[in-house]
């Protein structure tokens, strides 16, 4: 099954990390990504620019409405994702638990809807 692992971090906490710590954190991410490529779990994964760069688009009555960022004042913001292939939810949880941000933020694991069943 495919799962999307949505990574939520406190952006301020990550942005204000001392350089040594932040380098080590990035290093952990590279090692993790290599690891799940080797184990065959990896399908895709990206980090996102901070939430201030976000734009929300809505179309109402045929008119495009564009606003700055998501408004919700939450402590943790969506900061990146991995799309993984896992045997089942237990397998996916094991992978998600190794994402470095799981230790300081949280990871939401969502199964992908498979529209064309074999």
Partner 1 sequence: MTTPEQARDAVDAVYRADSRRVLATLIRLLGDFDLAEEAMHDAFSAAVERWPRDGIPANPRAWLVSAGRFKAIDGIRRRARFDASLGAIAERLDAGTDDPADWDDERLEDDRLRLIFTCCHPALPPVGQVALTLREVCGLTTEEIARAFLTGPPTVAQRIVRAKTKIRAAGIPFQLPARAELPERLATVLHVVYLVFNEGYSAFAGESLTRVDLSTEAIRLGRLLVELLPPPPEPEAVGLLALMLLHEARRAARASVAGELVLLDEQDRSRWDAARIAEGAALVEQALVSRRFGPYTLQAAIAAVHAEAPSAAATDWPQIVGLYDVLLRVEPSPIVELNRAAAVAMRDGPAAGLALIDAILGRGDLSDYHLAHSARADLCRRLGRRQEARDSYLRALALARQAPERRFLERRLGEVTVEVPGGS
Query: 35-41: which pairs have CB atoms within 8 A and are 24 or more residues apart?
Result: 35/98, 36/82, 36/84, 36/95, 36/98, 40/85, 41/84, 41/85, 41/86, 41/91, 41/95
Q: Are 11 and 77 contacting, i.e. CB atoms less than 8 angstroms apart?
A: yes
- Applying CB under 8 A, among 7, 84, 92, 107 the residue interacting with partner 1 is 92
Q: What is the three-class DSSP state of 32?
A: helix
- Applying CB under 8 A, among 12, 37, 75, 87 the residue interacting with partner 1 is 87
- Site map 29..68 versus partner 1, x via CB under 8 A: ----------------------------------------
- Applying CB under 8 A, among 5, 7, 36, 86 the residue interacting with partner 1 is 86
- Applying CB under 8 A, among 21, 34, 88, 108 the residue interacting with partner 1 is 88
Smallest gap from residue 38 Cβ to partner 1 (A): 20
For the chain, where are the E strands, in sequence order?
2-9, 42-47, 55-60, 63-68, 77-85, 106-111
User: Smaller CB distance to partner 1: residue 35 or 111?
Assistant: 111
- Residue numbers at the binding site for partner 1 (CB under 8 A): 1, 3, 86-90, 92-93, 109, 111, 117-118
């Amino acid at each position: 099954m495919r799962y999307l692992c949505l990574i939520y971090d406190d952006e301020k906490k990550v942005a204000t990390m001392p350089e040594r710590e932040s380098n080590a954190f990035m290093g952990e991410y590279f090692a993790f990504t290599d690891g799940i490529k080797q184990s065959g779990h990896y399908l895709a994964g990206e980090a996102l620019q901070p939430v201030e760069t976000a734009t929300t688009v809505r179309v109402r009555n045929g008119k495009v409405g564009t606003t700055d960022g998501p408004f919700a004042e939450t402590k943790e913001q969506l900061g990146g994702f991995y799309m993984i292939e896992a045997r089942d939810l237990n397998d996916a949880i094991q992978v998600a638990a190794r994402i470095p941000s799981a230790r300081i933020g949280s990871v939401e694991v969502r199964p992908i809807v498979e529209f064309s069943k074999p």
